[in-house]
Structure 1
Amino acid sequence: MYIAAVGTYLPDSVSVTEAVRQGRLDAAEAERSGLLGAAVAGDTPAPEMGVRAVRTALGRWGGDISELGLLLYVEGYRCGPDGWLPQSYVMREAVGGDLLAVGVRQGCNGVFGALELAAAHLRGGGSEAALIVAADNMGSPLVDRWRASPGYLLADGAAALVLTRSAGFARLLSVNSKAVPELEALHRGIQPLDPSGSARPVPLELGARQREFLGGDDAPKDWMLRVMKAQGELMAKTLEEAGIAAEDMTRVVTAHANQELVDAWLSSLGRTLEQSAWSFGRRVGHLMAGDQLASFEHLLMAGEIGPGDRVLLVGSGPGLGIAAAVVELTALPPWVPGPRAQSDTVTPAADGWR
């Protein structure tokens, strides 16, 4: 399986300095986190950002749209009217044709699940190419992007990828996921499951939900050890399937979390912040499922990775699920500007960071 193109749409970021000034974020917490900002799209809907990312990816791919047989739309938060499907909107606005369009609701791990599904579809001969897009706008009045999820600043944006069977600039060497289902309620807390209760407007307060679950009788006392064990097993399987060792990784791309969480992932793999994409992610914020694709595109466009490099993508999400994928670059696509750059250059925008 090959990655033929990637594309993103990222609005301007609001800096943590501005968030602190407005009283949205505690100054000491902002300093400890190491995070610098979060992309904020205002009233631009998530599916529209998805359309823009898809148009970029398809333009870079340059393939025949008729070769696409699958569109997977990944969302972490509701993005439109109930009873309506964002993948159909993206298909109408950016793709056209007649293909299988499916939504993937796997939270922050959605792109990994979509990669597994797309690879299986292509391997089975369903089509020559598949399209994955992840898009979210966390601007709902029910979401406090600065405080809703401990360790993260919830951001807006979209990322897309074209996966093919025969041609591309990078090979998908392996992709796997693993679940720790006894921790399912870590992101639910005591929220009701009945339709009447679920219909009530409830703020997204993931930190409070975690405290509810961990403070109850159903939470395993060794829950963190279980996560670490599952993570170790997942890494071993993913690297074995890719035929490489952890030290062979040029970069490790994690979710756009604070320094403590990113360090935990990296140290378990013998890697440092300089061997990640954190200098980019800390400015953009947590794009829900789009983090890894956005960081991968950034590393590529900034010249931080090139032919022969192996990149490990890792993530976690509700469920509790963890996931990983290994990508090997085989060529520089024509849309990458110039030779490798030497630094992670990010230009400040007027209201924060780009």
Structure 2
Amino acid sequence: MKFAKALAVTTAFGLAVGSAHAADMANDLTLVSWGGAYQKSQQRAYTEPYMANNSGVNVVWDESSAEAVAKLRAMNEAGNVTWDLVDVVAADAIRLCDEGLAMEIDPDTDLAAAPDGTPASEDFGDLLVSDCFIPQIVYSTTFGYRTDLVGDTPPTDICAVFDLKAYPGKRALEKRPINNMEWALLCDGVAKDKVYDVLATAAGQEQALKKLDTIKDQTIWWSAGADTPQLLADGEIVMGSTYNGRLFSVIEEQKQPVAMLWDAQVFDLDGWIIPAGLPADRLARVKDFVKFATDTQRLADQAKYISYGPARASSAPLVGKHADLGIEMAPHMPTDPENAKNTFLYNYEFWADYRDDIDAKFQAWLAK
């Protein structure tokens, strides 16, 4: 890990974690996340206990994580970064780090050790995919379907999404190329271990878009993670993609006639980045909050409210029952063996390198 920059920034501000007094910290904290059930789980597991321990702190939420890269670029250009801590997927963290828009961190200084003293760098391990990334959860993007609209043979294969004859009706897909392009190639005969090789070529990108063309006029495109659960609950779609925790909410909490299609679920990581160049008092507050919010207990606590796996190894044994429903959460995690029989491994580096170009091509295709 390249920690020199992070250490230089910390030294310049004189605010290594644990050394700042409350009087040196800003009281306002603007957090950027995704809204919905996920953000509520962060509030209950992270911000509510933090505010209880730190009187006078005011947390403001902004639900702009889907647009984080573009907005941080614009803020940086204007010289006015108003966000303090931003929740992003790993590929976006890599991009923001590469562009100098996110601050590099030293896990063993900036994050708490495990209860047994294991350094954070070992506890998070391979999930520290960028020098600027602070992991929170392992989640998956997968499909939910209406159990009352799929007939007597519920879908078990990802390619049911492209089968309008067997499963007529509207679908919901995210309004971006990520995951959609991979699923399209898988269902057009590309071997799982060749998907990114094919997608790196112009011909492969056209192949994926051609496959998506087959369901384009039956697709509702979503931007917010809460969209697909609502569309499913309203019966407006037969099946749709979203984050597994959102589907857990609509199935277990709302008791809607919805089930999970785990096949070819795409594992991904979500976590925090600290915007580069924060003033000293804001940086001190952010680092104090991050050290608290990503410790072993807090990450385990989040799993009481949503079915995402905690990113620390030491948190996993602490995952128990849902705080309100009383059901065991382990079987609802994307990493559960029954759910992970056929997963697709998301390639962070690929999307960090190709995202802007493929995004432009995908949006042009959508506009046709």
TM range (shorter): under 0.3
Under a length normalisation based on structure 1, what TM-score does the superposition of the two structures give? 0.27
Q: Whose helix fraction is larger, Structure 1's or Structure 2's?
A: 2
